[in-house]
Amino acid sequence: MQRLSFELEHIASHSNARAGTIRTDRMEVKTPIFMPVGTQATVKGIKTYELEELGADILLANTYHLLLRPGPEVFEKLGGIHRFMNWKRMVLTDSGGFQIFSLPHSRKMTEAGAEFRSYTDGKFIILSPEKSIATQISIGSDIMMVLDQCVPGDSSHAVAKKAMDLTHRWALRSLAARGDSWQSLFGIVQGACHPDLRKQSAEFLVEQNFEGYAIGGLAVGESKAEREDFCELSASLLPQDKPRYLMGVGTPIDLLEAVHRGVDMFDCIIPSAYAKQGKAYTSKGMLKLERAIYKFQDIPLDPNCSCPTCRLYSRAYLHHLRKTDETLGWQLLSYHNIKYYIDLMKEMRRHILADSFHEFYLKQRDLLARPDEENPSLLPVRKSRA
């Protein structure tokens, strides 16, 4: 059975940045790639046909939430998540491991799994590797994740090793539970900020020959420098011919740094979450649209963007929507931010293939890290929109 394959097309000079192609029976996907987060079978505020227009090829959904509502029986009856949400492209499901991490006072960890109380009906549920995989099989995602235990980035060596060892045992159980399903399964490298544990974790998981590998346990309390160092270390330990996925990261500068270090796949809620706060990423830097500086700016959000938000609405109008807390403002900025992320990944891929990524990286690194109040190119512009 051919599940997922990965073709490495080019590695940039003076960088570990990679361009590749993921192939499944459903479709081909070009990397590096950003996957919008559709936790509960929806990307907040955006319709599936709009996501296709934006160029999204993989959506991320969450096993923990979909287990609780609507439940695996709904997906089984309706023919899986693709039909359920009318999405024809790929879906990756997280296993629920991060949600376990996010409920430190509401769950109990055992060898069997994580016991927690459902937020929908109050019942106790044990999320075991077998239940996580069974739920993901019912959902019908193209790529499944093993159940793992995530710990804070600053965890002690002993705590991190205990969680890593449990993650490895759960990975084997997840692999066995997958059986002969057509769905691909990724292992997750853990080990917090301990180089020896990261090496042990990668070595163990690579021996199991998963279809791809994720780098977990980052963006959970460690410093930016630590995140970048352990991302680079983890990526360097993984096979060249398998996709590498950095889970839950991050801002555009985080994505640029991680691509530079050899990562292929990303997901994060930031595009939508920041949109709700009135924050927009543009080719000139980030804009915080609640600021009074935008009240009279009759110009596009980003003159270099072709999305409907930028074509049809002014900064002044978007500022107004933010100040009045109108849902439309959140939706328009979410649409734009996701478009920005997808276009950024395409631009990085173009530069990798042209072998000009290193120059692109050096130029973009400063711009992407600069807030709008420090960016002179975002000061008021007097010329009206065309």
Point out the residues that are catalytic: 94, 267
Q: Are strands 114-117 and 124-127 parallel, antiparallel or unpaired?
A: antiparallel
List residues bridging with 114 in a β-sheet: 109, 127
Question: 87 is written with which tokens?
Answer: 């999405």
Question: 33 is written with which tokens?
Answer: 């790639």
**Alpha helices (runs of H) in the chain, residue ranges in sequence order:** 48-54, 63-68, 72-78, 81-85, 97-101, 129-139, 157-178, 195-207, 224-236, 252-260, 270-276, 308-312, 315-323, 327-353, 357-368
- Phi, psi angle pair for 162, to nearest 5°: -60, -45
List residues bridging with 5 in a β-sheet: 23
DSSP 42: S
The C-alpha atoms of residue 60 and residue 270 are separated, in whole angstroms, by 13
Other Cβ atoms less than 10 A from the Cβ of 295: the count is 13
Q: Which of helix, strand or coil describes residue 163?
A: helix
Q: Which of 142, 134, 58, 67 is nearest to 99 (CA)?
A: 67
- Phi, psi angle pair for 177, to nearest 5°: -70, -25
Length of the chain, please?
Answer: 386
The C-alpha atoms of residue 216 and residue 233 are separated, in whole angstroms, by 12
The C-alpha atoms of residue 186 and residue 190 are separated, in whole angstroms, by 13
Q: Are strands 107-109 and 18-23 parallel, antiparallel or unpaired?
A: unpaired
Q: Order across the sheet with 107-109: list the strands.
A: 107-109, 114-117, 124-127
The C-alpha atoms of residue 74 and residue 68 are separated, in whole angstroms, by 11
